[in-house]
Structure 1
Amino acid sequence: MPRPHASPSEPAAVTGPIDLAAPGLYLSRELAALEFNFRVLAMARDTTVPLLERLRFLSIVANNLDEFFEVRVAMLKHHHAYGSAAPGPDGLSPPELLSRIRSRVLELVAEQYQIWQQELRPQLDAERIHILTRKQWSPRQRRWLQGYFEHEVLPVLSPLGLDPAHPFPRILNKTLNIAVVLKGRDAFGHEGHMALVRAPRSLPRIIRVPAEVCGEGDHFVFLAELLHAFVDLMFPGFKVVGSYQFRVTRNSELMVEEAEVENLARALSEELLGRGYARPVRLEIASDCPQSITSMLTRNFQLEEADVYRCDGPVNIIRAGLICDWLDRPELKYPRFTPQLPAGLETSRDKFEQIAQRDVLLHHPYQSFAAVVDLLRQASTDPNVLAIKQTLYRAGEDTPLVDLLVEAARHGKDVTVVIELRARFDEEANIRLATRLQEAGVQVVYGVVGYKTHAKMMLIVRREGDTLRRYAHLSTGNYHQINSRSYTDIGLMTADPEIGEDLHKVFQQLSGLGPRIALKHLLHSPFTLYTGVMERIERETALARAGRPARIVAKLNALNEAHVIEALYRASQAGVEIDLIVRGACTLRPGLPGISERIRVRSIVGRFLEHSRVYWFGNDGAPEIYCASADWMERNLMRRIEIAFPIRDPELAARVYEETLASSLADNTQAWLLDTEGRYHRATPGRHAPYSAQQALLDKLCP
C-alpha cells in the first residue's frame, strides 16, 4: 500500500533526516498561478492606481483566467480522463487539485465582480464615464440603441430555436451567447420553448453611445445589454419569459505530434481550425440564470455543475479593458513617459561602431526598443553585412522587424529566421509571418522537433576589412515592440567575439540539426542551462558549508522545477542566503523550519509586467550574473531551446544587479511576500520611506 501524501497545507515536521522531495514541501503549480491573479486583482482595488488602469487590471485578470482554464485546467481534465495524470511534486491528485482550483476561482470571481459592481462602476460614474445597464437608459438613449440594434446588430444575428430539427448548435470558444426562454407558437404551429442567440465576432462587444444622445460624459453599453433589451424583436410572435447570457471556455492546447507530421505549419493550420470547438472546460453564466437552463447547458456541453461559474455582471467582462484604450483621459491613466536611448548609443552614429567600442545594455520599457530596430535597419542595407540570423517567438502583427528582415533579404543578405510556430495563442500570426518571410526569400526554420524555441537572440555577420565580425543582440524578452512598452526586460548588444561564436554555434545547431555543441559562455537549454544552474547553486552550498559568504538572488517569472527547489532547500540548510523575486507561480515554500528558513520569496506587481529573468550567484566575492529567456521551470530547463547569457562588463553587471535585483528587494509598496502556506501579503513601508522599484527606474532612466 503506497504511503499517503503529506497534505500541502501542513509543513513537514523536522525530526531526523528530512526528505526534501516530500510533497508537503511543495506548493501546487496551478494554485500558485491562481494566487498571482489575486495580486493583479488587488491593483484593480488599489485607489492609488489611476482609475482607468484599475479597469485594465480587472480585464487582465479575466484574460488570465481564460488562459488558465484553456490550458492548465483543460490539460488536467484531459490527463485525468485518459488516466495519464500523475500527482505533481505537491502530491495532490487531479480530482483534489481540481476541487481546490474551483474553490479558489470562486473566491476570485466573486471578488472580481464585487470590485466591478461596487467600486469601479460607481467611481467611473463619478468621472463621467458611464457603463449603462438597460435599466439606466433614458427614453432618448433607448430609442437610439434600438435603432442601432435594428440596423447594425439584428441583420447579422441568426437566432436559433431548439427543437428536434434544430439541435443544440456548436458554440465557439469564448464567444457571447444568450439563452432565451420562450412561450407561444411559431408560424408552423410549433411550440416554442428555448432558443439561442450567438453573437458573431464581427459585432463590437461594447457600443459607444454618441454624445448628442447622452449629453455630458462618455457612455458605453455592453452588447449583451442590447441583446437582452431587444430580444423580443428577434422572436416576433413569442413572449420572452427570460434571457440569460453565457460563455463557454474550451481546451485550447494544440495536440500535434511533431514527429508524425511532414509539414508542421500545415499540421498546425489544420489543428487551429478545430481549436474553437474543442472540448469545453468552463461555463460562465449570468448569476440569475435558473437552474433548469444551467442544467440544459451543462448537459449539452458535457460539463458538470463544478464547471459552472456564475457572474454578477457581463460574462465577457474582459471587454471592459477596451474602454481604457478608447478614452483620452490622461488624468485617469499612468503618466506618459518617453523611453530613452542608453548612454553611448546615439541615434545619428553608426550602430556597429558604437557596439564595437563597448557592450550596450537595454532595460525595457525604460529604455527604447527602437535601439534594436535601428540596429536591424542599418544591417538590412549595410553593404558590409553578409548575414542576419534571428529567432522570433512572439513578434506581433505590426512589427517593423519583419519589414526589415524582408528588406535585408531583398538587399542580398543571407537571412535566416527561426520562428516558433507553437507559441501559444500566436500560432496563426506566426504561420502568416513565416509565409511572408519565405515569399521574400528568407530561410525560415521552425526550430527543433519536440522543443519550443524560446530563446531571444539575433546575430549579424559583417565584413570589416579582412575579417568577419559578429554583432549579437540577446534578450530576456520577445522581439515585440508593443510588449517592450509594458514588459520589463533586459537586452544586451555586444560584439564580444566569444559570445558571437557561441551564438553562431547555436544557430547552426537550430538550422542544421547539428550535434551537441560546447559553448564558452552561454548556458543553453536543454543541454547546459539546467546543469549550469544546479552547479552554481551547489557551489554556493559548498561555500556556505566551508564558512564562506554565500548568496543567491534570482528574478524569475515562475519557479516550479522540483530538483532546483530541492537544491535551494539544501543550500538554505547549509547557510546560503537566498532571495527569490518570482512574479507569478512559485511552488517553493519559504520559511520552513530547518529547510527554507534562509529563503525569502517576493513578487512585484505594478504598472509594468515584470518579465526579465536574472540569476546572480555570489561566488565567494567574484559574482556571476546571467540574464535569460528561461524561468526555473521544468519545461524551460528541459524541453525548450533557451539561452542564458552572462553580463561580462563589470559596470553593466553592477547596473543589472541594482536595477533588477537590489531595486526589487527594496520595494515596499508593490512587493508581495510569500508565506509558508502559499499566501501572499503586501509589503508596507513601515518606518521606511515608500519605495517603488518601477517608479524609481522611471525617475532614473526616463527623467
Structure 2
Amino acid sequence: MPASRTAKPKVARPASETPSQPVDPLPRYLNRELEWLEFNSRVLDQASDSSVRLLERAKFLAITGSNLDEFVMVRVGSLKLQGQSGAGRRDPAGLTASEQLQAVARRCHRHVTRQYEILRNEIQPSLAERQVTRVDLNQCSDRTLAAAERHFRGDVVAVLSPQALHDRRFPMLPGLGIHLCVQLRGVAELAPQNTTKVVTGDSPNTDADQEFEPQFAVIPLGRTLPRIVPLPADKSGPTGAMPGGDNSYHYVLLEDLVTHFVDDFFPGREVIQCKPFRITRNADVELREDGAGDLLGGMEEVLESRRLSDVVRLEMDASSSDAIRNYLIESFYVDPEFVFQIDGPLDLTYLFGLHSLEGFSSLRDEPWPPQRSPAIAADETMFTSIAEGDIMLMHPYETFDPVVRLVEEAAIDPDVLAVKQILYRTSRNSPIVAALIRAAERGKYVTAIVELKARFDEARNIEWAREMEQAGVQVIYGIRGLKTHAKVCIIVRREPQGLVRYVHFGTGNYNEVTANLYGDISLLTKDESLGTDATMFFNAVTGASQPQPFQQLAIAPLTLRRTLLEMIRGETERSKQGQRGEIIAKLNALVDTEVIDALYEASQAGVKIQLNVRGVCCLRPGIPGLSETIEVISIVDRFLEHARLMYFRHGGDHKIFISSADWMPRNLDRRVELLVPVNGPEIRKKLRETLQLYFRDNQNAWRMQPDGSYERIRVSKKQKPVRAQETLYREAVQAMKDLKQSSQMTFETHRPTK
C-alpha cells in the first residue's frame, strides 16, 4: 500500500465561496496540470532506464518532447486565457490560473533540464558508441564537410529563403517549426548620411569604433526538407552514408547544416550569429458553435485562428547572443517564465527518425507482431465468426485486422443493408473510410458521424467528410456543443431469421496504425439488446432526438455519470452491510471530483479499490480515514495504455464494462461517450484477470503516493518478475499455438464435390 499521512486532509472551499480565505495546504484533490507533468516524468524515466534498449530510450525521449509540446499548446494556452480573463476562480486543488502557471513553468524548466541531461550524458554518447553519430561540421573531416556542402548547395539553398526583419515584424511563422534567427552587422550604407559622432567624456571618436544598429533576418526551415541529413563517416572502412548501413550512421541536423553555410544567404554581409529558435502557439482555440451556422466552415476558421494565435512558449539555443535573445522575447511578447534556453537541439522529436533506422535492430525491442484471434477463422466471414458468440480482441497483442475486415466485408456483402459508424480519429490512408465509400457507391445506406472538433485531426476529418459526402455517404458533423467520442460501428444485415445487427464497440479509435501502438479493447457482438441500444443511440445522435431508455448501454452526457456513480455507491452500500466490496478500474485519467468523492466514500466504507491510471490522477490514495483502501498504479511500458476497463464485484455478480470515456468532467459532461457491459462469461473472466495482472507488474509499474508523487515498484529477490504487457503478448502467442496444435490433431475428411 502507498505511504500514508497521519492527518486527514481538509477540503479546500472554492474561491468563489470564500475569496478571502487562505488556501488549504493539503487540499482534497491534486492539481491536474502538475499531475500531467508527473506522468511525463514517468515516461522520461524510461529514456534513462539502462534496461531499455538504446533506440527505444531515444524514442521515449522523443515522446516526452511531443507530449510537452501538446501540453504547452493546450493546457498552458488555456491557463493563459483564464489568467487574461481576470477571473480569480480556483481549481479543485485550490490554485488560481496564475498560480498554476507559475508552478507549471517551474516544473517544465526542471523537466526540460532533465530531458537534455539525458540526451547529452546518456543517449548521444551511447549512440555514438554504436556508430550512430551526430556530426559537428566544425570538427569533421574534409570529406564529410565536402559531402555536407554538396547537399546544402544541391538540395537546401534553392528551397529556403531568408527574410530581413524590420521593426520587429516577423513573418507569420508556424508553431513548433525550427527557424533560424540571423544577427547581421549593421552597414554604413543604411546609417544616416553626413552625421557627426559626438564625443563625450573620454570616448575617442574613431571610424574603427563606429557601430551601427545590428540587423536581423529569419530563415524558416519549413517541413519540406528532412531534418536528419545522412553524411559519410569520418573514418575509413564502412561509410554508413545512407540509412540501412550495417555498422554506422552519421548525420547532421538541418539547422546545423544551414547555420554552417549561412553566409551563402547573405553575400556581402557579415553574419554575427545564427541560432535556431522555436515558438509554440496557443492551440486552445475552440469553435463558438452558437455563432457558427456552418460547422465545417467554422472549423476551418478555427484552424486558421490557431495558426495566428499568440505565442505561449519560446525555445532558443542557450548560446544565443543577448541581442538575439532580447530581440526574440520582445518580438513575440513571451512571458519570461516560458522562455527556454536549450543546451542541445530544439525539438526532440527528431529522435523518432533515428528510432526507425534500418540496420540497428539490436538497439530496438524484439518485434511483437500482433496475433490472429483464435475466435476468428481465416476462411470464414466475420459475420460467421461473430454469430458463433461474442468476440473480444486485445490490441495490439491481437491484430486490429478483424475490425477493418468487418467493414470491408460489409461494403461488398449483398445482404448488408446499412453501415453506421462514428469516426473520431482515423489514419492518413484509412481503409475503413475507403470501405465506407465503397459501400455507399454500391448503394448501401451508409451514415458516418465525423467529429470535426477532434483536436489536431480537424483538417484530416474535414477532408474525409468531404470525400465521403461526394461518394454518397450521409455525413453528420457531430452534435452542437459536444464532441462525439464514442467508438461504435453498426452493420445491419438481412438474414433468414430477419434483420440482424452486428456491432463493434471499442475503447480506441478506428485507426489501424495506432492500433499497433495503443493498448485497447474491441468487442464484436450480435447481441440483440446491445444492437438495439446501439441503433437507438446512433439515431438519437444523428437525429438530434431524445434517446429512449437503453437496456444495457449508458451514454454520456445523459446516463453514464449516473450509472458509474450508482455502481460505486452500490459497492459502498454492500460494504457497509458487511459484504465484500471491490472496484478495479483501468483509465487514462481520473479528474472528476464527484467521482473522486464517491471513491473516497467507498474507501471509508471499506471497499477495496485498485485504480490503474496511466496519466493524470487527482485523487490522493492511501490516506487514513479518507482513502486508505485505495491503491493507484501507473504502467509506462512499450505500448501506450489506452483501454478504459472497469470491474465491480456487485455482490459476486462481477460486472465488467469497457468504455470510451475517462473519468473526467469533459468525458462525462461535454462529450458523447459509451459505457458498454461485457456479458460473455469467458470474456469477463479474461478481462478481470487482465485487470489483476497489472497490479502484479513489478517491471514497469509506478505506485502513487498521497502527495501526488510516484515510486517505481521494484521486484524483490523473492518475487518472480512480472511485466504485464509482455505477459499479455505471450498469452496471445500461446493461444494461436494451441489453436494450431488442436487443428493438427483433428481429422478432416475430403468430401465429394457437387
Smaller-chain TM-score range?
over 0.9
What is the aligned counterpart of 1:14 among 8, 25, 34? 8
Of residues 68, 71, 96, the one that matches 1:68 is: 71
Q: For residue 673 of structure 2, give the secondary structure of its aligned residue in structure 1.
A: strand
TM-score (norm 1): 0.95
Structure 2 CA distance for aligned equivalents of residues 117 and 443 of structure 1: 53
Q: 2:64 matched to 1:33? A: no
Q: Displacement, 1:547?
A: 1.2
Secondary structure of residue in 2 paired with 1:96: helix
Aligned to 2:380, which of 349, 354, 364?
349
Query: How far apart are 1:278 and its partner, in Å?
Result: 0.9
1:12 CA drift (Å): 9.4
- What CA deviation, in whole Å up to 9, does each residue of 1:410-453 have, x standing for no partner? 12110000111111100000000111111110000111101100
2:182 counterpart residue number = 180
Per the normalisation by structure 2, the TM-score is 0.89
2:112 to 88, 99, 109: 109
Match of 2:613 in 1: 582
Cα distance in 1 for residues equivalent to 2:707 and 2:47: 24
- Residue 160 of structure 1 corresponds to which residue in structure 2? 163
| Contact 2:568-2:599 at 8 Å conserved across structures | yes
Letter in 2 for 1:176: I
2:266 to 218, 235, 248: 235
Partners of 1:350 and 1:139 lie apart in 2 by 63
Write the deviation string for residues 125-156 of structure 1: whole angstroms up to 9, x where unpaired. 11111122333422111111112112211222
Change (3 A) 1:213 1:689: closer
Aligned partners of 1:626 and 1:647 also within 8 Å:
yes
How far apart, CA to CA, are the structure 1 residues paired with 2:520 and 2:601?
30
Determine whether 1:645 maps to 2:672.
no
What is the alpha-carbon distance in structure 1 between the residues aligned to residue 304 and residue 287 of structure 2? Answer: 13
- Where in structure 1 are there 5+ consecutive unaligned residues? 1-9
Deviates more, 1:314-323 or 1:420-429: 314-323
Per-residue CA shift, 1:262-311, capped at 9, x if unaligned? 21111111221232221110001111123442222111111121110111
Distance across 2 between alignment mates of 1:280 and 1:18 = 36
Cα distance 1:208–1:187, how it changes in 2: closer, same or farther (>3 A)? farther
Contact 1:20 1:566 in 2 (8 A): no
301-310 vs 608-617, which moves further: 301-310
Match of 1:503 among 531, 534, 537: 534
Structural mapping, 1:145-544, within 5 Å: 145-164=148-167, 167-185=169-187, 192-210=214-232, 217-544=248-575
Q: 1:187 to 1:220 in 2, by over 3 A?
A: farther
**Contact 1:338 1:702 (C-alpha < 8 Å) held by counterparts:** no
SS of match in other structure, 1:432: helix
Give me the whole-angstrom Cα distance separating, in 1, the residues matched to 2:517 and 2:150.
Answer: 40
CA drift of 1:700 comes to: 0.9
Question: Structure 2 counterpart of 1:583, which letter?
Answer: R
Of 133-142 and 213-222, deviating more is 213-222
- Counterpart of 2:123? 120
SS at 1:514 equivalent? coil
Residue 629 of structure 2 aligns with which residue? 598
Between the aligned partners of 2:121 and 2:293, the Cα distance in structure 1 is: 55
The reply to whether residue 549 of structure 1 matches residue 580 of structure 2 is yes
Assess, with a 3 A threshold, how the Cα gap between structure 1 residues 12 and 66 changes in structure 2: closer, same or farther. Answer: farther
**How many residues align structurally?**
691
Distance 2:11 2:351 in 1: 50
**How far does residue 329 in structure 1 lie from its aligned partner after superposition?**
2.0
Q: Structure 1 pair 196/20, CA: closer, same or farther in 2 (3 Å)?
A: closer
Over residues 630-681 of structure 1, what are the superposed CA-to-partner deviations in whole Å (9 max), with x where a residue is unaligned?
A: 000000011100011111011100111112x111111011001110111111
Q: Which residue pairs with 2:701 in the alignment?
A: 671
In structure 1, what is the Cα distance between the partners aligned to 2:493 and 2:81?
Answer: 50
**Residue 196 of structure 1 aligns to a residue in which SS?**
strand
Q: Which residue of 2 is the match for residue 6 of structure 1?
A: none
Identity across aligned pairs (percent)? 38
Q: 1:58 aligns with which of 58, 61, 64?
A: 61
Name the amino acid aligned to 1:382. D
Q: 2:202 is matched with which residue?
A: none
- Aligned counterpart, 1:5: none
Q: Is the alpha carbon distance of 1:466 and 1:668 closer, same or farther for their aligned partners in structure 2, counting shifts above 3 Å?
A: closer
Aligned pair partner of 1:683 in 713, 718, 724: 713
Q: Distance in 2 between matches of 1:151 and 1:541?
A: 71
- Which shows bigger deviation, 220-229 or 558-567? 220-229
CA distance in 2, matches of 1:295, 1:241: 15
CA–CA distance in structure 1, aligned partners of residues 631 and 320 of structure 2: 45
Q: Relative to structure 1, is the Cα distance of residues 85 and 494 closer, same or farther in structure 2, using a 3 angstrom cutoff?
A: farther
- CA displacement, residues 449-480 of structure 1 (integer Å, 9 cap, x when unaligned): 01100000000001112511111000000000
Secondary structure of the corresponding residue to residue 236 of structure 1: coil
Deviations 1:96-115 (A, max 9, x none): 11111011111110110011
| Structure number with larger C-alpha Rg | 2
Q: Secondary structure at the match of 2:452?
A: coil
Q: Distance in 2 between matches of 1:188 and 1:347?
A: 76
Residue matched to 2:80? 77
* Structure 2: runs of 5+ lacking an equivalent: 15-23, 193-211, 242-246, 735-754
The change in CA–CA distance for 1:178 and 1:43 in structure 2 (over 3 A counts) is: same
AA matched with 2:8: V
Distance of 2:88 and 2:361 partners within structure 1: 49
Query: Whole-Å Cα distance in 1 between the matches of residues 381 and 270 of structure 2?
Result: 74
RMSD over aligned Cα atoms: 1.9
3-state secondary structure, aligned to 1:429: helix
Mean Cα deviation higher: 181-190 or 393-402:
181-190
Q: Which secondary structure state, in structure 2, belongs to the residue aligned with residue 14 of structure 1?
A: coil
Three-state SS of the structure 2 residue aligned to 1:313 is coil
Question: Whole-Å Cα distance in 2 between the matches of residues 690 and 293 of structure 1?
Answer: 53
Q: Which moved more, 1:178-187 or 1:409-418?
A: 178-187
- Of the three residues 107, 113, 134, the one matched with 1:131 is 134
Alpha-carbon shift at residue 189 of structure 1 (Å) = 6.8
2:312–2:335 CA contact under 8 A, matched in 1: no
- The answer to whether the 8 Å contact 1:178/1:197 transfers is yes
Conserved? CA contact 1:287–1:310, under 8 Å: yes
Tell me which residue corresponds to 1:695.
726
Q: Matched residue of 1:676: which SS?
A: coil
